[in-house]
Amino acid sequence: MGWVTALPPGADRSYNACLVLVDRYIITPMFLPCHKDDTAMDTAIMTWNKVISHTEIFQNSISERDPKLTSALWENLHNLLEQIYHSIQPTTFKQMV
């Protein structure tokens, strides 16, 4: 996981950075447009919407960034997952299992 920053603004939403995620098993990169000043919560929401909801949750991440950022990202991601889990009604959840 890493960010490419100081990019020229994009046309539609003025993105100026790119979050790069690489699956280490199949070596597949994912490039997610973002803003340079996105918070850990913004990154967690983007990761959920663009990656986890289409594939599966990753079990670990390797980042060159500050451990505080990685910790905040995981904490926000877990909070999102908890909200999603609790929003499913028990009867619906039993039918899904």
pLDDT at 55: 65
The predicted structure's pLDDT at residue 24: 72
pLDDT at 57: 64
Q: Which residues contact 36 (CB under 8 A, 6 or more apart)?
A: 3, 5, 6, 16, 17
Q: What is the pTM of this model?
A: 0.59
Q: Return averaged pLDDT per consecutive 10 residues of the chain, 97 residues in all.
A: 80 82 78 87 82 65 68 78 69 55
pLDDT of residue 81: 76
